[in-house]
Amino acid sequence: MPKDSDDNAVIRAVRYIAHVHARSYLGDDTAWFHHTLNVLLELAHPSEILTPEAAKFLADIEKGISEARGQIF
């Protein structure tokens, strides 16, 4: 994550992971958490230049975000 990014993004990402992805059956295995956090932070604060083919997935992410925002209670 870039140095000038919002440090609170990590806190928000952890809260998102806890709400959406954390499950009791995962037990003490925390590798999944590390990988999930890295993916979310990369999406929020890109550090790589995407190929046109890889960038196509961003439309799927945008659609999912739009749908999720419509379901906020």
pLDDT of residue 39: 95
pLDDT of residue 23: 79
CA distance linking residue 73 with residue 58, whole number of Å = 25
pLDDT beneath 50, residues of the chain: none
Residue extents of the structural domains in the chain: 8-69
Query: Residue 27: is it exposed, middle or buried by C-beta count within 10 angstroms (0-12/13-18/19+)?
Result: exposed
Angle made by CA atoms 55, 21, 15, in degrees to the nearest 5: 90
pLDDT of residue 4: 53
